[in-house]
Amino acid sequence: MTDEGESLFIKPVLKQELDFYNTIKKETSNENSLLKSNAENRGVLPLNEWIPKYIGSMSKTSNVSKEDLEKMGELANAPMQLNNENKNCISEPQYIVLENLLNGYKTPNVMDIKLGRILYDDSASIDKKNRLIKVSSETTSGSLGFRICGMKLANQGESNYNLFRSSEFCYNNTNTYISVNKTFGRRLKTPVEIRDSLNLFFSNHLMGEAYTTNLLKMFNKRIEALIDTLENTKSKFISSSILLIFESNIDRIKQHGLDDELIDSDYDIISYLEESCDVDQAMEIEGEMIDIEDIKGGISLSKLKLVDFSHAVIGKNTNTGVDSNTIDGLKSLNDVLLQLIKAI
């Protein structure tokens, strides 16, 4: 779900994911945080940079603080109300409110890749554990340490959509998008099939090879930086995903130029623009008149984020140190990107 302005993304969560986001929030504002210690000094990005901004949590029955509601903007009128964390009144169902990672994008392409060979945690029942061991052994989760879970592709009319079987994808009502479901990624077995799928994804635009190359290089840098972060963070991410997102709208790409940041500042830029929504064309920043279009031009063209923390733990809750299951999956994905870059 999103709010009316589509700047927020709302999803139902269980306690563990809520706890995860609350820990991240607490640690981000803590000077001696486990997210920052020895990481920032060495130029390693703290974990929160890789995670959607967390606005708060909501449930149907809880009380609302005015300040939080202001933060939530349009959601003030929504039927659900914000959960005031201090009031410890957790009731089901619970929702988290995150930044909508697609806000600011005109024609985004999105791929969800589930990381890790091991897909279950200690809390899984024997049945569930056996089922997930089987899924891993039959898919690239087991062989490569990652699996394509789904994709949303801007319909570019490409003939190579014939990589997908008819049961694996569908068009939206207006034929502008293709949604590829999880059965596609589960069917892939070989490194070549994975390479072809990633190649199709990163080429799904009409900007030519230079843009594809740029995207591959940016995501390669991001994956390496994320590995660096995880190698410096006590964490365990069972069954989490990375989202790869990039713009394919030609006007936005041309306006932006191909250079892009490792980590976007989209939420800050969009919040800033929303706060100044009564301004038409230009606004004054530190004494200078800046065109609104130039500020919008700062919204990223592509980004990589970690999502889905229903089985994730960080910091003192992990006995395990760093998360080699997730790191190995990222390394193996990075190898495929490096092969694609080499083949250009």
Which residues would be at the binding site for ligand ADP (CB under 6 A)? 9, 11, 52, 98-102, 110, 112, 150, 241, 243, 307-308, 310
Could you tell me which stretch among 155-163, 164-172, 194-202, 305-313 binds Mg ion (CB under 5 A)? 305-313
17 in contact with Mg ion (CB under 5 A) = no
Contacts (Cβ under 8 Å, ≥6 apart) of 298: 265, 269
Residue 186 to residue 344: CA distance in whole angstroms: 27
- Minimum distance, C-beta of residue 56 to ligand ADP, in the bound complex (Å): 13
| Contact between 308 and Mg ion per CB under 5 A | yes
Neighbours of 91 (CB within 10 A): 10
Cβ atoms of residues 229 and 47 within 8 Å: yes
Cα–Cα–Cα angle for 111, 115, 120, nearest 5°? 130
Sheet holding 94-99, edge to edge: 8-13, 94-99, 54-59, 81-82
Q: How far is the CB of 112 from Mg ion (least distance, A)?
A: 6
Backbone angles phi and psi of 56, in degrees to 5 = 170, -170
8 A C-beta contact, residue 341 and residue 220: yes
User: Residue count at the site for Mg ion (CB under 5 A)?
Assistant: 1
Which helix or strand (DSSP H or E) is residue 17 part of? Answer: helix 15-28
Give the shortest CB-48-to-ligand ADP separation in angstroms: 14
Residue 110 binding partner per list Mg ion, ligand ADP, none, with a CB distance cut-off of 5 to 8 Å that depends on partner kind = ligand ADP
- Tokens representing 261 are 């940041």
| Nearest CA-CA partner of 207 in 239, 242, 244, 246 | 246
Tokens, residue 267: 């939420």
Tell me how far, at minimum, the Cβ of 256 lies from ligand ADP, in Å: 20
Q: Is 323 in the site for Mg ion (CB under 5 A)?
A: no
The reply on whether position 99 binds Mg ion by CB under 5 A is no
The pattern of x and - marking residues 224 through 263 that bind Mg ion according to CB under 5 A reads ----------------------------------------
- The residues near 103 (Cβ < 8 Å, ≥ 6 apart) are 6, 7, 266, 270
Considering CB distances under 5 to 8 angstroms, the limit depending on partner class, which of ligand ADP, Mg ion, none binds residue 260? none
For ligand ADP, the closer CB: 11 or 165:
11
- Return the ∠ at Cα 239 (arms to 80 and 47), rounded to 5°: 75
Q: Which is nearer to Mg ion, 93 or 321 (CB)?
A: 93
What minimum distance in Å lies between the beta carbon of 150 and ligand ADP?
6
Residue number with CB closer to ligand ADP (232 or 264): 264
Among Mg ion, ligand ADP, none, what does residue 329 contact (CB within 5–8 Å per kind)?
none
Please state the closest distance from residue 45 (CB atom) to ligand ADP, in A.
18
Identity of the residue, 3 or 112, whose beta carbon is nearer to ligand ADP in the bound complex:
112
Minimum distance of ligand ADP from residue 76's CB (angstroms) = 20
The one of Mg ion, ligand ADP, none whose footprint includes residue 233, by CB under 5 to 8 A per kind, is none
Q: Which is nearer to ligand ADP, 109 or 214 (CB)?
A: 109
Q: Could you give the CA distance from residue 82 to residue 94 in angstroms, rounded to a whole number?
A: 10
Nearer CB in complex with ligand ADP: 145/150: 150
User: How many CB atoms neighbour CB 98 within 10 A?
Assistant: 21
Residue nearest to ligand ADP (CB): 308
Nearest C-alpha neighbor of 9 from the set 53, 64, 44: 53
Buried-state track 196-215, b at ≥16 Cβ within 10 A, e below 16 = ebbbbbbbbbebeeebbebb
Min separation Cβ 306 and Mg ion, Å: 11
Residues within the interface to Mg ion (CB under 5 A): 308
